Amino acid sequence: MSGLLEPTLYVIKGIAILDNDGNRLLAKYYDPNVFPTVKDEKKFEKNLFQKTHRANAEVIMLDRLTCVYRSNVDLFFYVMGLSHENELILVSVLSCLYDAVSTILRKNVEKRTLLDNLDIIMLAMDEICDGGIPLETDPQVVSQRVALRMEESPFNDQTVTQVLQSAREQLKWSLLK
């Protein structure tokens, strides 16, 4: 009986989005025992990308982790859990992440648009998983929550532009005096 593991809610060990060169665009790791340093995380990501970028499977076992992944145009989406985790849970988190990103980016899932909307994608990641515990697997709910939070934000692109324009005007007038 000592070989049995206690059930836990902390299913997700990491979520990463890499570009088509294997470089990190966005990553969150939830267990410092699995990856104690950023150097360890990047080494794992490079190894993971090498094993998956030409494969057309959806699941890989690597370094005691079960990794599910999906690629699109120039992006690779990964969700990692321990080797004994249920792949169906990992796949449901991956599908939610991908579909929520697709909805947020209006079906334009590529590196450039992802980078332009990185703040919103980070919010979506936080809505899906908190500290390694999957919270939501419905992509519509995630994208709606993210949209609500973006509307609540006191700053948006227009107000930032207005602030910068106002600062320029004030600087211009102070220099002309």
Please give the pLDDT value at position 1.
45
Please give the pLDDT value at position 156.
52
* Residues in the chain where the model's pLDDT stays below 50: 1
- Give dist(CA 17, CA 71) in Å, integer: 9
Please give the pLDDT value at position 153.
55
Domains of the chain, earliest start first: 12-154 (3.30.450.60)
Please give the pLDDT value at position 3.
59
Q: What is the pLDDT of residues 124-139, one digit of tens each?
A: 999 999 999 999 999 9
